Amino acid sequence: DAVKPQSVYGTSKLEGERQALLYNPETLIIRTSWVYSEYGKNFVKTMLKLMSEKEELNVVSDQIGSPTYAADLAAVIMQVIASGKWIPGMYHFSNAGVISWYDFALAIKELSGKTCRVIPIPGSQYPTPAKRPAYSVMDTSRLFNSFGLTPKNWKDSLQVCLKKL
């Protein structure tokens, strides 16, 4: 699909990608989404904290995407570099699978053994400063086909991350 940035931040990222490709045709860009890890601030760590503090938690159920474990993203970048191939252009990476934020929160709850009740709500009940698309799943096939890679499933990667936490 054609890109449609919904914020100044998104517009500036797109322009940066365009400029990189324009000024260096050998540029390889990897876009990603819903990144989490055992480091920094992210959805997984926020959910674990809130699930430990609250009896119930509202989570958006009508925004769909694919989580990306930062360690898997780093591993894929290293595999691309080590492949000996350099195929410039725009690629997408996320772990395999499509879920909502609510489904992601339920999986975090299940795999971590938390008992907090997770309640699905529409995005309209959880306004954020940044406008979020309802469907942000990217086609990752070009990256995996070009470099002979196999994506890991989001839930398997979430399990790895949670064990490290």
Among all residues, which ones are annotated catalytic?
9
β-partners of residue 35 are 68
Angle of CA points 83, 16, 44, to nearest 5°: 70
Question: What is the per-residue burial (b if ≥16 Cβ within 10 Å, else e) of 106-124?
Answer: bbbbeebebebebebeebe
- What tokens were used for 57? 């938690």
For residue 138, what are the CA distances in angstroms to 29, 58, 149? 14, 26, 16
Angle at 145 between CA 139 and CA 149, to 5 degrees: 100
